[in-house]
Structure 1
Amino acid sequence: MTKTVFLVDDDDAIRHSASFMLRHAGYTVKTFPDGVTFLDEYAPNDSACILLDVRMPVMDGLAVQTALQERGNTMPIIVLTGHGDVSVAVQAMKNGAIEFLEKPYEKKALLEAIETGFSRLADAEAQTGLKNDAIAKLTRLTSRETEVLDCLVEGMTNKAIADALSISPRTVEIHRANLMEKLEADSLSAALRIAFEAERGRNTTA
């Protein structure tokens, strides 16, 4: 089966290097220099994984994501962010993105994210399993760890979390490390993904 990746990024160098790498890895790649061009060519019955930059002129990644939602998009979206765009990435994941990667991203992380996207595209049952697994993992957390995770979901920094919960930043770090271990998450993105999967699972069964 041909696996197609839509790469939407206004940076010529990134479009060139990423598309070269992905083609070398066996994917079919279509690149777009901005969100408007992509939406003009987008078709609801397309089957692909979308790599979407959040910082673009005219129409940023979140606006593109909203437009795709309005069109009933079912393609998995991986958001590409610059350093310091964590709050934007959190919002993108709230809106349904499956992953965010900070530039410069590692090849291994990018390929793993794309394969996760294609797995979800192909297997609706796996989606249900992911939601149930996420809900089960969250039950392992203490009430304080859950509070810290909720703050992370809001895009808050460790210092902001410490202020909000009236605890020290060091204590936040300890709770954060503990919750990451219990969730079996090796990155903030992975922890957020579990939180959002669980929330979607609860909303589906509600």
Structure 2
Amino acid sequence: MSEAVPVVFVVDDDISVRESLEELIIVEGWKAKIFDSAEAFLSHPREAVPSCLILDVNLPKLNGLDVQKLVAPDRIEMPIIFITGYGDVPTTVQAMKAGAVEFLTKPFSDEVLLAAIRDAIDRSSSAIDGEHEMQQLRDCYSSLSNREREVMALVTSGLMNKQIGGKLGISETTVKAHRGRVMRKMKVDSLADLVTLNAKLGLATS
């Protein structure tokens, strides 16, 4: 994972809240990116670094829950911490069900918020690492020829080389050669590892 400094986005229409949060974030060694509206935040380009979003529920026009609906499905690397001056149970439940990592009612202590930010950034780092691993895995799979993909599917379904040869109309020796190339290209040393990668890729076995 990149050693880039994590970014904490803040969206709040109260200037005093924005300024105090910005100071707190910077003192902790993170980058602060501050917005006074949902629209301003949504127009900001995505950043491929560990991050989190501190989001006021009660924003004009697009409120916090609206913003969450827009960004949460596609931004798992940016956990959301909601803050509000007057929270209620239904709103809290809706936000948490949609994936928010914390819901804080003002006034809250700096320590509580900082703990929530640290947890969110840890989650963000894990999500970025996981996506990087998946991209490497997809790249490996993309390097396979069509025949190698056929052999991989049959191997991971539990068939022996002779059975695979019979299904594909090729010799057992040829199957072994394809199988060896699949193992090298997928960077695994065992059938068990290949089966695991097959499942991670969401591929059906033949």
Counterparts of 2:8 and 2:28 in 1: how far apart (Å)?
Answer: 11
Distance 1:47 1:25, change over 3 A: closer
**Paired position in structure 1 for 2:81:** 78
Matched, 1:55 2:58: yes
State how far apart, in whole Å, the 2-side matches of 1:96 and 1:17 are. Answer: 26
TM superposition shift of 1:90: 1.6
- With normalisation by structure 1, the TM-score equals 0.56
Give the Å deviation of 1:86: 3.3
In structure 2, C-alpha distance between the alignment counterparts of 1:16 and 1:44, rounded to whole Å: 22
Distance 1:40 1:57, change over 3 A: same
Aligned-residue offset at 1:119: 1.1
Residue aligning to 1:40: 43
1:164 is matched with: none
Unaligned runs of 5+ in 2: 131-206
Structure 1 distance, partners of 2:118, 2:124, is 10
1:156-175 residue pairs with structure 2 within 5 A?
A: none
**Deviation (angstroms), 1:94:** 0.6
Q: Which residue of 1 aligns with 2:112?
A: 109
4+ residue segments displaced more than 6 Å: none
Tell me if the contact between 2:6 and 2:49 (Cα under 8 Å) persists in the aligned partners. no
Q: Report deviation, 1:3.
A: 1.6
State the Cα deviation string for residues 109-140 of structure 1 (Å, max 9, x = none).
0000000001111225xx9xxxxxxxxxxxxx
1:51: how far off? 0.3
**Judging changes above 3 Å, is the alpha-carbon distance between structure 1 residues 38 and 87 closer, same or farther for their aligned structure 2 residues?**
same
Length-normalised TM-score, structure 2: 0.56
Distance 1:89 1:108, change over 3 A: same
Does 1:65 find its partner at 2:68? Answer: yes
Counterpart amino acid of 1:73?
Answer: R
Deviations 1:68-90 (Å, cap 9, x if unpaired)? 035x1111110112234332122
Whether the 8 Å CA contact 1:48–1:118 is kept in 2: the answer is yes
Unpaired runs of at least 5, structure 1: 128-206
CA gap 1:122/1:45 in 2 versus in 1, 3 angstroms: closer
Percent identity of paired positions between Structure 1 and Structure 2:
40
Which runs of structure 2 are paired with 1:98-177 in the superposition (5 Å)?
98-123=101-126
Q: Is residue 89–residue 100 contact of structure 1 (8 Å, CA) maintained in 2?
A: yes
Amino acid at match of 2:112: A
SS in 1 for 2:82: strand
Q: Deviations over 1:157-195 (max 9, x none)?
A: xxxxxxxxxxxxxxxxxxxxxxxxxxxxxxxxxxxxxxx
* Bigger Rg over Cα: 2
1:7 aligns with 2:10: yes
- Aligned partners of 2:123, 2:49: CA distance in 1, in Å? 15
Q: How many residues align?
A: 126
